[in-house]
Structure 1
Amino acid sequence: MISTSAAWLAFFLFAGVMTYAGIRDVATMTISNRLVVFLVIAFAVLAPAVGLSFDTITSSIVVASVVLACTFVLFAAGWIGGGDAKLLPVAVLWLGADLALPFVLYTSVIGAALTLGLLQLRRAPLPLVLKKNAWSKRLLDRETGIPYGAAMAPAALLLLPESHWCSAFL
């Protein structure tokens, strides 16, 4: 049985947590392990409550596992951060196997724009107002990486309405 209440809860919970993760990544350049674990547990509880089929849940887990293996390799090579390597597959778990490729593609395009924008900003002198903030100094430091959580969040939000979570109330 499909629970509309559980579907709405899942929808807003995932949207809220991804938004928080994106903002937090910009501010601190970290994505909490607790946040990732929370999303995994919430998926395990809400997926059956919404009435997702065994096949849908299984395919989401399998594809998310493949993405985790790929992001682990990227992390080991030093190309992405550890938080990004964990958040990407968890977002794929939530969005489902059929949205995995679009999610990675959207994240890549948004991430490329973010990277180009930050690289451009990092070339300019830091304005006085931004010199006073630790987060902006860290974000605009040329030695700092790119907060890809900030690219994953809008990518997830763009695709969430197409996900299996919305089939219960659309």
Structure 2
Amino acid sequence: MIPSLVTSLATAGFVFAMVYAGIVDLTTMRIRNGLVLALLAAYVALAPLAGFTLEEIAWSAAIAAGLLVVSFVFFARGWMGGGDAKLLAVTALWLGFDHTPAFLVYTALFGGALTLAILQLRLVVLPAFLGNRPWIAQLQSDKAGIPYGVAITIAALVVFPQTRWFAL
């Protein structure tokens, strides 16, 4: 495969998977393992074909592994969902070592804004036609968490165009 075709496939796949993850997390509060594994497999298959060096792939894998460990500590403490932890790590793998710091900053900023919006949503009484939708009712519940996959998705889509995937 020629690198431009590979990067086009990678870009389309990554964007689709991230948008799907964000929508599913918003509406179900779950991120499927299959989606995370598909992103991982796609990276493993496409990064070498796109011309990434073994060193670049290794650095990306190291930062992703480190984030996975840290985010699972957060999961164990109840600060983050397990799906969010896995999505954060695989997204960092795709973005690479050099773009992960910006991704994490954007994730924190978008996550904070999302959290404030959901907390505000929990203070208002919604019209019946909205309140009877299960996913909206779940977002309004004080017992529910925050669908942080939404913030991860938005941050990834902001940072991805600056990555090497677009420079190839």
Equivalence for 2:30 = 30
Equivalence for 2:41 = 41
User: CA-to-partner distance for each residue in 1:27-78, whole Å, 9 max, x for gaps?
Assistant: 0000000000000000000001101111110100001000001001000111
Q: Return the alpha-carbon distance in structure 2 between the equivalents of residues 16 and 161 of structure 1.
A: 14
Native 8 Å contact 1:84 1:149 kept in 2 = yes
Q: TM-score, normalised by structure 2?
A: 0.97
Gaps of 5+ in 2: none
Letter aligned with residue 54 of structure 1: L
Q: Return the alpha-carbon distance in structure 2 between the equivalents of residues 120 and 48 of structure 1.
A: 45
Q: How many residue pairs are counted as aligned between the two chains?
A: 168
Gaps of 5+ in 1: none
Percentage of pairs with the same residue? 45
Equivalence for 1:160 = 160
User: CA-to-partner distance for each residue in 1:80-129, whole Å, 9 max, x for gaps?
Assistant: 00100100000000000011111111000000000001101101113211
Q: TM-score, normalised by structure 1?
A: 0.96
Letter aligned with residue 52 of structure 2: L
User: CA-to-partner distance for each residue in 1:136-158, whole Å, 9 max, x for gaps?
Assistant: 11111111100001001110001
Q: Return the alpha-carbon distance in structure 2 between the equivalents of residues 49 and 140 of structure 1.
A: 45
Note if 1:94 corresponds to 2:94: yes
Letter aligned with residue 135 of structure 2: W
In structure 2, the CA distance between the partners of 1:48 and 1:114, relative to structure 1 (3 Å rule), is same
Equivalence for 2:103 = 103
Equivalence for 2:16 = 16
Q: Return the alpha-carbon distance in structure 2 between the equivalents of residues 159 and 2 of structure 1.
A: 24
Moved over 6 A (4+): none
Q: Return the alpha-carbon distance in structure 1 between the equivalents of residues 138 and 3 of structure 2.
A: 44
Equivalence for 1:54 = 54
Q: Please give the residue correspondences for 1:127-146 in structure 2 after superposition, counting only pairs within 5 Å.
A: 127-146=127-146
> How far did residue 26 of structure 1 move?
0.3
